[in-house]
Structure 1
């Protein structure tokens, strides 16, 4: 095959792949006889599609925001509880946060305050923490991602400690005060 024949073949291929016709810089596909009624009918569909996409995006953003709040305030609570000797004696360290779907989260006052109950576990037992926290700092577009801005106001630990008897568990209830550097009240033991 000569060079001239190869050039003609390439020129024929490029003509087959020509871009679609455009009008005014906008590409569109015609499905009907070109009546303006078909274009008017598609406007409500476009508006509905944009609205549905916006609603779905808003729901996803809200869920991500709540998950970031949950992660931030529970991380601070676990750090605080891990410094408490009574918690260490009860269930040991490391403390492991349970899954987010087993927790309850109430967010209030422009996402600056939170009340949360979430499961925790350690090598010697498990339980749940109840916390109330507030977020310090300025409000910004991504301020909910800064988990270090949470201040734990109250932290109550309900811990189930396994005893020698398999059928009996001891419940230890601790109130960790925020101003005492992780001090706690007397544990309540129930059988």
Structure 2
């Protein structure tokens, strides 16, 4: 009698099998639900990060190109070549490269005037602090190199290409920085 009771305890009844199958299905559904939520959250975070980076790149482009347009619209050589007003082209036709923790920028964007069109090319560095909050503030860039390559239709020729250095610094005017010590290197004495 005792043996029968022990066997009946360890024996699984059909109703208990159905209950265990149902609980397994609920557990699997909970696991799938948690997995779906985790994947959804990860995708939302990734999309938000990409969008934030794109907005920051657009802000960098706007800051640099606006500063470059100020200089270009005052340059007499550009005004003579393509006319006035000098207008910036669409942002989606521009190229932007950022480097060194977004402290260095290289940008090319189209410009046009009544007599011709072309591209402005610039290289700039960012002023200011390097904290993570600086990501949210407007950027102040110093333009190091700014030149224009303009395509001006002529009477005799089909098209004339003109290169104009706007920043006023020619590459030959740059001197090597051997006199400046680099931090972390031994001085030559």
The answer to whether TM tops 0.5 is: yes
Q: Where in structure 2 are the equivalents of 1:123-162 lying within 5 Å?
A: 123-140=114-131, 141=133, 143=135, 146-147=138-139, 149-162=140-153
Contact persistence 1:119–1:128 (CA under 8 A)? yes
The counterpart of 2:77, out of the listed 80, 86, 96, is: 86
The counterpart of 1:42, out of the listed 11, 33, 46, is: 33
Q: Where in structure 2 are the equivalents of 1:36-185 lying within 5 Å?
A: 36-140=27-131, 141=133, 143=135, 146-147=138-139, 149-165=140-156, 168-178=158-168
Structure having the larger proportion of residues in helix: 2
Contact persistence 1:68–1:144 (CA under 8 A)? no
Note the C-alpha offset of 1:83: 1.6
Q: What is the CA RMSD across the aligned residues, in angstroms? A: 2.3
Note the C-alpha offset of 1:144: 6.0
Distance, in Å, in 1 between the alignment partners of 2:86 and 2:111 is 7
4+ residue runs of structure 1 moved beyond 6 angstroms? Answer: none
Decide which structure has the larger Cα Rg and report it.
Answer: 2
Contact persistence 2:117–2:150 (CA under 8 A)? yes
Change beyond 3 A, Cα 1:52–1:36: same
**How high is the TM-score relative to the length of structure 2?**
0.69
Contact persistence 1:118–1:130 (CA under 8 A)? yes
Distance, in Å, in 1 between the alignment partners of 2:159 and 2:62 is 29
Give the paired residue count: 147
* Structure 2 segments unaligned to the other structure (5+ residues): 1-21, 171-189
* Structure 1 segments unaligned to the other structure (5+ residues): 1-31, 181-191
Change beyond 3 A, Cα 1:178–1:114: farther
Contact persistence 1:96–1:121 (CA under 8 A)? yes
- Secondary structure of the residue aligned to 2:165 is strand
